[in-house]
Structure 1
Amino acid sequence: MDNRMLCAAACLVLALSGVCVGEGILPAGRLSGAVAGTVMFSTTLSPPESPFLSVSWSFKGENIITSTSTDIIDPGHADRISLDRATGSLELRGLVLEDSGEYTVTIIPDGGLQKQGKTVLQVYALISGASIRTPSAVLIEDKSSTNMSCEASGSISTRLWMKDGQPLRPDGRISLSIANRTVFIQPVHSSNHGTYECRVSNPVSSVTVAHDLTVNFGPHNISITGPSAAAPGQRVTLQCTAASVPPANFTWMFNGNETRVNDSVYIIERLDAERLGNYTCTASNMVTMQENSTVLNLRASCTAPCWCVSLLLLSALTLTGLL
């Protein structure tokens, strides 16, 4: 049996035993690179005592470099590759999208079996120019619908939407297009008001862009903060609040009679019996054209005799100029 037959038999034995020729000389998994960037195809080999007889790399089946006693380099790669002759590793510079594909290294050691490895490179254009586009329309709760589109240049692998720092998930009002490019909200709700972010990414770059979505709503949850009972002569402050976009306008009524207080705060400088009763706050929204009201009943904090004595004392102090 001549040497060629012995070599073929040895290769067959290795293959049948599950040890493929060259298995493991390139790390598993794909490589990623950025346009205009650099990538290193690193083998797992250590420099041998005797230099390799031959190292060659091919791309999509076409040889790009073969190194023996001299180097033969494909003209299209001449200024973009460097070979580490000791380990067979290859550096590729000035990446372009067309560099994506399968790369194969073949190494012939001095006195050993041929080694081979394969890997795949994916080149991506960097993400740039990201923006969120949405129709310029006034949005009113439960009456309007809208959409937001996440646009960007480059090789886009994923789009991830966030709202107020939390992942945006579809629900009865929110839906997403294929690849998450567009968010549809039909119809808008007060809960949709807030800051939206779109993160556009690929394995080599990522850009996040934000957009504040204004949903006009309310007034909701109107309430009056203040004492429900007070003593005569006490200064009483009533504060009216409501959830509203834009902020609500407030008006007050006392026992059904409208006052001139166009503010969220109603102040009673000195409480007396004539100021006990129902205080009504009405909140109105000039965009949604809605309004809501709430009532606080202000009572005396002590019994009638207590009020009589207190009022007489207040009157005496007022007459003597002490108040």
Structure 2
Amino acid sequence: MIVKYNKGHRDQVSVQISPQHSLPSVNHSQSLVCQGATTGLPVVWNKNGQEVRPRVGISLQEYNTTLHFDSLVPSDAGFYQCTATVPTLEKTTVYSRGYLLSFDPWNVSISGPDSIFERRETTFTCLTSCTVNVDCTVSWQFRSGFPTGLYLSINRNVLKWTPSIPGTFQNITCVAENKAAGRTAEATKMVKVVGYVLSGSETMQRSGLFSVILGLGLFLLNS
């Protein structure tokens, strides 16, 4: 399941890094632009839900549409949004898509076994260092083909699968992404489906059932 941004006013305004496609780096200058904001109308910046005000090293430029950092420091990392006024008849105030300013790469991994049994449900979890649905969204991809089996369930970062064909392999990829920030990271796990192995009790039960059936068959033949 791929989580998408809601449509509407939120898509009209977004926070973008400037220069585009640049990577924030400590001790380097950087700017965030409130893309879509109208010059001359109110713009307010927030970091992790708290208003950002000018201070030494941080300034508001271009009628507050640009948040400029003279020299980034580790404490500048965070989730930035701008509140802008859309020039409709009501001059609606809207929140932008956010931008995660971070200096560390995201870590993504998939928990779960490398070998699973046919007809047995197995759970895989996508583990990320980013906060799901705040810093990033999570999606599952199957680039080697869709999993075949009796059951498949995806709920955000949790995947449950009951395979049906032993001797096959399945690649499962988890992708963490922030479209507004242009950031992405992923992990892939190769899973082998093995044949179902009967437990001792199951073997005894089937052996007993076979004996009953055989005995019944012999009785009918001799009667």
TM-score by length of 1: 0.37
Aligned counterpart for 1:97 among listed residues 78, 85, 108: 78
1:31 aligns with 2:31: no
Unaligned runs of 5+ in 2: 1-10, 18-22, 197-223
Work out the CA distance in 2 between the residues paired with 1:172 and 1:122. 39
Aligned counterpart for 1:40 among listed residues 27, 33, 37: 33
Q: Contact between 2:34 and 2:66, CA under 8 Å: does it hold in 1? A: yes
CA spacing shift, 1:58–1:210, aligned 2, 3 Å: closer
CA spacing shift, 1:83–1:170, aligned 2, 3 Å: farther
Q: Residue 101 of structure 1: CA displacement? A: 5.0
Q: Contact between 1:130 and 1:209, CA under 8 Å: does it hold in 2? A: yes
- What do the CA deviations read for 1:170-208 (whole angstroms, capped 9, x no partner)? 9742112x31x1211235533863221111212221112
Residue 117 of structure 2 aligns with which residue? Answer: 140
CA spacing shift, 1:121–1:186, aligned 2, 3 Å: closer
Higher relative CO (Cα under 8 Å, sequence separation at least 6) belongs to 2
Work out the CA distance in 1 between the residues paired with 2:137 and 2:189. 18
Residue 158 of structure 1 aligns with which residue? Answer: 137
1:207 aligns with 2:185: yes
Residue 283 of structure 1 aligns with which residue? Answer: none
Query: 1:68-79 maps to which residues of 2 (within 5 A)?
Result: 74-75=54-55, 78-79=56-57
Q: Identity of paired residues, percent? A: 12
TM-score by length of 2: 0.51
Residue 130 of structure 1 aligns with which residue? Answer: 108
Residue 216 of structure 1 aligns with which residue? Answer: 194
Q: Specify the SS of the correspondent of 1:147.
A: strand
For the aligned residue pairs, the C-alpha RMSD in angstroms reads 4.3
Q: Residue 125 of structure 1: CA displacement? A: 5.8
1:81 aligns with 2:93: no
Residue 173 of structure 2 aligns with which residue? Answer: 197
Q: Residue 88 of structure 1: CA displacement? A: 6.2
Work out the CA distance in 1 between the residues paired with 2:117 and 2:190. 15
